[in-house]
Amino acid sequence: MFVIVVGGGKVGYFLARELIAAGHEVALMERDRARAVQITEEIGSIVISHDGCEGKYLGQAGANRADIVAAVTGDDEDNLVICQMAKHHFDVPRTIARVNNPKNESLFKHLGVDEIVSPTRMILGSIEADIPVHELLHLAVLGGGELELVEAQLRIGSPVIGATAGSLDLPDGCSIFAIIRDERAMSVRSETELREGDKVIGIGRIECEGELHRILLGETDSEK
């Protein structure tokens, strides 16, 4: 597989190295000349010392035959431009973008980036998993970023305590399918009664997160 990695920071550098080790053909674009020289010395002559945001240089890097373009610079705007150009000018089958600001995720999806990776959201998810708060915990992003797997811990005041799973009026495209109760996982049936302390695992479209929160945990802090 031929992969163009744009951005020679830590992420791009290690990504390129891992891909090469796995036997893929890799071209890495890094606009900073000194950094490009440094990477060339460490990995080999795979570096194109030009700005991947410019179509001319993306073309020189072989975007016309790339299987994947991964834009992993530290700049969301650049990553978006790179992916859009790869997709629309060079018909690259798969584009992957690093999104630093989680607020930009939906924009990236809307503008046709195939896959988004948000380190911020991943770290946030890890922190939330360790520190229980009255929020939905983000466990994973699925379906190329359209769906997310969430966990809600039911506490005193949760509106669904005592209700059965089948009675919940969940938004379209959302469902709950598992409960962790007393450290044991169990599947959810329509007659399953929800109890205080349950960790309810659900899946749904990202835009339904607020509604899911309201149903399972009550109003969000910002709504109060």
Partner 1 sequence: MPEAYPPVFRRAVIALNGGPFDNTIVRLAIDFSRQSHAELVAVHVVELNWTQPLDSEVAERSEEAQRVLDAAEGIAETMHCKLESVLVQARDVGAAIVDEACARDADLLVLGLPYRTRFGGDFAIGRAVPYALKNAPCAVWVVREPMGEESQ
Kindly tell me which residue out of 1, 42, 64, 126 binds partner 1, with binding defined by CB under 8 A.
Answer: 64
93 or 166: CB nearest partner 1: 93
Cβ atoms < 10 Å from Cβ of 107:
14
Q: Is 33 in the site for partner 1 (CB under 8 A)?
A: no
Pairing label, strands 25-29, 115-117: unpaired
* Sites for partner 1 among residues 149-178 (CB under 8 A): none
Task: Give the three-state DSSP class for 63.
Answer: helix
29 or 208: CB nearest partner 1: 29
Q: Are 165 and 190 in contact (CB under 8 A)?
A: yes
Q: Is 92 in the site for partner 1 (CB under 8 A)?
A: no
Q: Is 222 in the site for partner 1 (CB under 8 A)?
A: no
64 or 167: CB nearest partner 1: 64
Burial 143-171 (b: 16+ CB within 10 A, else e): eebebbbbbbbbeeebebbeeebeebebb
Q: Round to whole Å and give the CA distance between 187 and 107.
A: 34
**Bridge partners for 200 per DSSP:** 152, 179
Kindly tell me which residue out of 46, 147, 180, 206 binds partner 1, with binding defined by CB under 8 A.
Answer: 46
Size of the residue set binding partner 1 (CB under 8 A): 13
2 or 38: CB nearest partner 1: 2
Least distance from partner 1 to the Cβ atom of residue 20, Å: 13
Q: Is 93 in the site for partner 1 (CB under 8 A)?
A: no
Segment interacting with partner 1, rule: CB under 8 A, options 56-64, 69-77, 110-118, 132-140: 56-64
Q: Is 99 in the site for partner 1 (CB under 8 A)?
A: no
- Mind giving me the DSSP string for 129-196? HHS--SS-EEEEEEGGGTEEEEEEE--TT-TTTT-BGGG--PPTT-EEEEEEETTEEEE--TTPBP-T
By CB under 8 A, name the binding residues for partner 1: 2, 25, 27, 44-46, 48, 59-62, 64-65
